[in-house]
Amino acid sequence: MKPAWLKLNEQWQAEKHFGLTIPFLLGALQQWPGQPLGTDRIGVEQMRALIASIRDDTPDGIVMRLHMCDTRHELILATISAHYGQPDNCIPVPSTTNCKPALFVEKSIVPDGKNLFDALVNKLWQRYRKDIRAGRFSLHDGTFYPLNNDERRLIRAATFRPDDDDA
């Protein structure tokens, strides 16, 4: 079964967009039926669970890349095909369950090191915690706002995406 965060990303790309921000994914998952990250207020542990799922639960043949978007001037997570190999200017975040890494992070975000996963979670939490705690998950013109009706529609549409790889 595909993780909810992947279905959200696929729906976003199906609507002719490229990638989603981490705050959007966290906010959208709170709207998801069954709330994959729990019902508690979003905190660093929910962010850690999301990043761990991206690192460990990405289906074979898919690679996720967290990088600075040239258009939105913000970090976005985008799906790319695994047959392209390691994305340029990115470092792999080693998985605890898969032999091949599926999450790649732009080198400028965190240093490559022994505690890469923890450094990534901490960096993202430091960057986004104020907006996340305030319920601002949606990026518009460089500022985060609460989710709007169109984004809620996208989240609902993503819940109906099939789990097979041909979606």
φ, ψ for residue 92, nearest 5 deg: -80, 145
Coil, helix or strand at residue 41: coil
**Has residue 47 been placed in a domain?**
yes
Would you state the pLDDT for residue 167? 44
**Has residue 166 been placed in a domain?**
no
DSSP annotation string for 64-121: EEEEE-TTT-SEEEEEEEGGG-SPTTEEEE--SS-SS--EEEETTTS--STTHHHHHH
φ, ψ for residue 119, nearest 5 deg: -65, -40
**Has residue 153 been placed in a domain?**
yes
What is the domain count for the chain? 1
Nearest alpha-carbon partner for 132 in 34, 42, 20: 42
**Has residue 24 been placed in a domain?**
yes
Interval 61-93: pLDDT, tens: 889 999 999 888 999 999 886 656 667 788 999
**Has residue 59 been placed in a domain?**
yes
Would you state the pLDDT for residue 80? 81
Tell me the CA distances in angstroms from 53 to 64, 70, 89, one per residue in order.
11, 26, 22
pTM of the model: 0.90
Total residue length of the chain: 167
Domain that holds residue 29: 4-159
Q: Using 50 as the pLDDT threshold, list the residues of the chain that sit under it.
A: 167
Would you state the pLDDT for residue 56? 96
Would you state the pLDDT for residue 35? 72
**Has residue 165 been placed in a domain?**
no
**Has residue 43 been placed in a domain?**
yes
**Has residue 78 been placed in a domain?**
yes
